[in-house]
């Protein structure tokens, strides 16, 4: 017969399990909802900022220039997410 | 001499009024169809205001350098003194766009990751030749002048480009502020959601590390557009003066333009009817070319009174010679044609 692990360890293991169940049941869906909403808002933002690439005139295209360094990585995530393997013509050649 | 018969008192001459006697505001725009005498009237107005002791800046956005030409001095993108209390500058829209691009590249070099630098610069170069770039750069400069030079000078007189372009420039703040607001709102939500996500993901990073340079840049710009718009629609501070000549197309265009400005809440200060024919001389008769022109002119003047009479109407007679140089410009006078005072 195996020696039981010390009581402290057993309690800690159960607490960890409880925490994982809690995260799996409650936090994970919550987290993915937040993430989906984040992506949705980010898409809308990129659309307003780069609408000219899709043929929609963008009155502030010229004023987005100074934000380009900060936006180039987000631009890559965006076009991949939009189902475009390569960046749209006229946009950053980020990959 | 210019000051002697100011204040609108008929001083006995045929053209007793100063242009600005009834339309003096800190910021005046002169606009109208090409060739109607915008530059002449704007320059005359700036000289009047300076002669009255106001520190005045004349700003021309006309790439044709006509202000340099009629003032007979070499003007540039920085204010230069013309006469006492009068400074003038000419903005070259193409040059503004180049300068703006240069400034953006400078900032990019500090901020962009080296591996992406070439790509970002290529993108900026593409934007430089895109439609709207020159307009946007001009607008950027314009909002700066309203704020910076506006604080430094008592009066600013803008000699604007022909009507279409000017209307666009004056309507931009509204359009851009709205677009910017949409963008900023999204960006704020993106930021808030990213923060929530970090919280539930148990991320240890400090929120200050996630300060958003894009949001800051957008908000700064929106602030400037908004302030420009507040200045433009304030009838105590700003007035738009239309210059028109008693001919068919300029009148038609001005009627449309006045309506467009009203739509964007930009106050119209007055309409100046330029190049009115001199009165018939004794013995000239009622036949012939000039008599025919006069008759047509009177129908056009009637139309102007009817359709543009909601604003003060000033008339300026056709000059015998080109009003070139400060002395000739100072001789220009107006007369009241009617309209609302």
Q: What is the pLDDT of residue B46?
A: 96
pLDDT at B11 over 60: no
Q: What is the pLDDT of residue B8?
A: 37
pLDDT at B192 over 80: yes
Cα separation of B307 and B298, whole Å?
A: 14
Q: What is the pLDDT of residue B72?
A: 92
The CATH code belonging to domain B21-95+132-277+287-338 is 3.40.50.300
Q: Rounded to 5 degrees, what are φ and ψ at A28?
A: -60, -50
Q: Could you tell me the pLDDT band of residue B112, with boundaries at 50, 70 and 90?
A: confident
Cβ proximity of B339 and B311 under 8 Å: yes
Measure in Å the smallest separation between the Cα of A1 and chain B Cα atoms: 40
Q: What is the pLDDT of residue B249?
A: 94
Q: What is the pLDDT of residue B84?
A: 94
Between chain A and chain B, the number of residue pairs with CB atoms below 8 A apart is 100
Cross-chain CB nearest to B123 (options A31, A41, A92): A92
Q: Rounded to 5 degrees, what are φ and ψ at B158?
A: -100, 125
Structure tokens at B31: 């606009």
Task: Say which residue the tokens 């009165």 belong to.
Answer: B279
Cα separation of B42 and B19, whole Å?
A: 9
Torsion region of B315: left, alpha or beta (phi above 0 gives left; psi -120 to 50 gives alpha): beta
Domain spans in chain B, listed from the N-terminal domain onward:
21-95+132-277+287-338
Q: Do B120 and A72 touch (CB under 8 A)?
A: yes
Cross-chain CB nearest to A61 (options B104, B127, B175): B127
Interface residue A37 vs chain B (CB under 8 A): yes
Q: Could you tell me the pLDDT band of residue A72, with boundaries at 50, 70 and 90?
A: confident
Measure in Å the smallest separation between the Cα of A74 and chain B Cα atoms: 12
Cα separation of B22 and B24, whole Å?
A: 6
pLDDT at A95 over 80: no
pLDDT in tens, A16-47: 999 888 878 888 888 888 999 999 999 999 88
Cα separation of B7 and B204, whole Å?
A: 71
Cross-chain CB nearest to A38 (options B101, B175, B193): B193
Q: Could you tell me the pLDDT band of residue B169, with boundaries at 50, 70 and 90?
A: confident
* Mean pLDDT computed over every residue of chain B: 86
Q: What is the pLDDT of residue B5?
A: 37
Q: Do A59 and B137 touch (CB under 8 A)?
A: no
Q: What is the pLDDT of residue B131?
A: 75
Q: Do A68 and B123 touch (CB under 8 A)?
A: yes
pLDDT at B204 over 90: no
Contacts 24+ apart (CB under 8 A), A53-61: A53/A88, A53/A89, A53/A90, A53/A91, A54/A88, A57/B132, A58/B179, A59/B132, A59/B172, A59/B175, A59/B176, A59/B179, A60/B136, A60/B176, A60/B179, A60/B180, A60/B183, A61/B127, A61/B130, A61/B132, A61/B136
Q: What is the mean pLDDT of residues B199-212?
A: 69
Q: What is the pLDDT of residue B152?
A: 96
Q: Could you tell me the pLDDT band of residue A78, with boundaries at 50, 70 and 90?
A: confident
Question: B103, B118, B120: which to substitute to probe chain A, counting the most A Cβ within 10 Å?
Answer: B120
**Which residues of A are less than 8 Å from B113 in CB distance?**
69
**Which residues of B are less than 8 Å from A57 in CB distance?**
132
């Amino acid at each position: 017969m195996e020696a039981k692990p010390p009581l402290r360890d057993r309690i800690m293991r159960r607490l960890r399990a409880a925490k994982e169940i809690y995260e799996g049941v409650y936090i994970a869906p919550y987290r993915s909802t937040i993430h989906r909403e984040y992506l949705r808002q980010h898409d809308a933002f990129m659309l307003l900022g780069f609408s000219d690439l899709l043929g929609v005139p963008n009155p502030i295209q010229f004023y987005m220039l100074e934000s380009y360094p900060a936006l180039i990585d987000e631009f890559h995530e965006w076009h991949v997410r939009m189902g475009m393997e390569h960046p749209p013509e006229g946009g950053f050649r980020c990959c | 001499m210019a000051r002697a018969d100011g204040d609108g008192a008929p001083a006995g001459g045929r053209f007793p009024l100063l242009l600005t006697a009834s339309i003096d505001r800190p910021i005046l725009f002169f606009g109208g169809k090409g060739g109607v005498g915008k530059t002449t009237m704007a320059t005359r107005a700036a000289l009047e205001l300076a002669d009255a002791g106001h520190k005045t800046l004349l700003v021309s956005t006309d790439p044709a350098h006509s202000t340099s030409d009629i003032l007979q001095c070499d003007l540039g993108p920085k204010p230069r003194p013309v006469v006492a209390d009068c400074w003038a500058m000419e903005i070259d829209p193409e040059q503004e766009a180049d300068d703006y691009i240069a400034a953006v590249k400078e900032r990019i070099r500090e901020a962009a990751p080296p591996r992406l630098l070439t790509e970002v610069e290529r993108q900026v170069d593409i934007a430089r030749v895109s439609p709207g770039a020159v307009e946007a750069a001009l607008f950027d400069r314009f909002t700066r002048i309203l704020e910076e030079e506006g604080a430094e000078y008592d009066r600013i007189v803008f000699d604007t480009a022909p009507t279409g372009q000017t209307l666009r420039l004056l309507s931009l703040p509204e359009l851009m502020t709205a677009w910017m607001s949409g963008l900023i709102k999204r960006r704020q939500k993106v930021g808030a959601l990213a923060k929530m996500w970090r919280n539930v993901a148990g991320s240890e990073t400090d929120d200050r590390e996630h300060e958003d340079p894009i949001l800051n840049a957008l908000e700064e710009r929106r602030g400037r557009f908004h302030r420009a718009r507040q200045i433009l629609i304030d009838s105590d501070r700003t007035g738009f003066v239309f210059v028109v000549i008693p001919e068919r197309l300029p009148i038609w265009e001005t009627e449309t333009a006045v309506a467009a400005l009203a739509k964007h809440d930009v106050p119209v200060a007055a309409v100046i009817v330029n190049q009115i024919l001199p009165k018939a001389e004794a013995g000239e008769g009622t036949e012939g070319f000039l008599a025919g022109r006069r008759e047509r002119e009177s129908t056009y003047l009637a139309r102007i009174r009817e359709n543009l009479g909601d604003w003060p109407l000033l008339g300026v007679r056709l000059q015998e010679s080109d009003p070139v140089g400060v002395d000739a410009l100072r001789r220009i006078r107006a007369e009241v044609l009617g309209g609302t005072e």
